[in-house]
Amino acid sequence: MILRQITVGMMGVCCYLVACPESKKGLLIDPGGDEEKILALCEKEGVTLEYIVATHGHPDHVCGNLRIKQATGAQIVMHADDEAFFADPQVVEYFSMLGLPFSPPADRTVRHGDVLAIGSVAVKVLHTPGHTPGGICLYDGQANLFAGDTLFVGGVGRTDFPGGDSRQLLTSIKEQLLTLPPETVVWPGHGYGGAQSTIGEEKASNPFLTGGWW
């Protein structure tokens, strides 16, 4: 599997290029700005994008969706709950304070358990609400978890924005993420505590998760 992590945009979003090494078909996770940098990476790797996947609908993670879609023709993918939530005029008004564009409507909405396949590579959608109603993580079934803003290195996603729910977030982490193999690599949506970790490391040392509640 081709896997590249780059930090983009004014809010330091971790964007991921994931692709099949044989077909060179790929998906892009959370293009949060610096679109030309992202497109240059795709060209360097010889990857044709099939999907642009939003782990959630906050503008810092989707502000590059339009430009990338226009340049590549890739489909925008988002969980159905966030597609609806971020279309609400009150939600749009609130997050407009960030000064970043919202995503165009999703071409494909997904739910828990759906699979996105690109050549020989497939990722499973894990619905992990709490940071947003339709927040998702992507798991390749082998070694990698793309955690969005659900789980960071040494931290978890904030829940004080509209649509956030701290109890729901911790339940999502407990039931969907901590049940994965401990060696699973965690690729976060921001590199606040580091660029990567593992499920085992987070379960053992993440201060938000070490209270024995699981």
For 132-181, how does the pLDDT look when each residue is reduced to its tens digit (9 = 90+)? 999 999 999 989 999 999 999 999 999 999 999 999 999 999 999 999 99
List beta partners, residue 152.
155
The yes-or-no verdict on residue 4 having pLDDT over 60 is yes
d(CA 156, CA 151): 4
The yes-or-no verdict on residue 214 having pLDDT over 60 is no
For 70-84, how does the pLDDT look when each residue is reduced to its tens digit (9 = 90+)? 999 999 999 999 999
d(CA 108, CA 200): 33
Are residues 22 and 2 in contact, defined by beta-carbon separation less than 8 angstroms? Answer: no
Domain edges within the chain: 2-205
Say which CATH topology domain 2-205 has: Metallo-beta-lactamase; Chain A (3.60.15)
**Whole-structure pTM value:** 0.96
Which DSSP string corresponds to 134-177? T-EEEE-SSSEEEEETTEETTEE----STT--HHHHHHHIIIII
Q: Identify the sign of the CA torsion 140, 143, 146, 151.
A: positive
The yes-or-no verdict on residue 127 having pLDDT over 80 is yes
